[in-house]
């Protein structure tokens, strides 16, 4: 069962990578992001969107890890 789970994980990871690659190739229009008076350098849309996706995924992972640690701490008390 462990090998099957690993296989599914690898296939899903490859699919997400392929979708991200296709998205990046299709969205090459240069844009500049402006937030509260600050402007980013001119980058392709895909770079900004993929950066936001990665930042959100990391934030979610940190949040879930914090919940897991807090839940474990409550059980040990």
**Predicted pLDDT at 76:** 60
Select the more confidently predicted residue: 70 or 58: 58
Distance CA 2, CA 8 (A): 10
pLDDT of 19 > 80? The answer is yes
Q: By residue range, what is the domain housing residue 30?
A: 2-76
pLDDT of 2 > 90? The answer is no
With bands split at pLDDT 50, 70 and 90, how would you rate the model's confidence at 66?
confident
pLDDT of 77 > 70? The answer is no
**Number of domains composing the chain:** 1
pLDDT of 39 > 60? The answer is yes
């Amino acid at each position: 069962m462990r090998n099957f789970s690993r296989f599914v994980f690898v296939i899903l990871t490859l699919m997400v990578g392929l979708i991200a690659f296709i998205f990046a190739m299709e969205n090459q229009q240069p844009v500049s992001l402006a937030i509260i008076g600050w402007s980013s350098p001119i980058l392709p849309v895909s770079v900004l969107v993929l950066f936001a996706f990665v930042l959100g995924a990391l934030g979610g992972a940190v949040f879930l890890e914090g919940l897991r640690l807090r839940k474990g701490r409550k059980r040990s008390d």
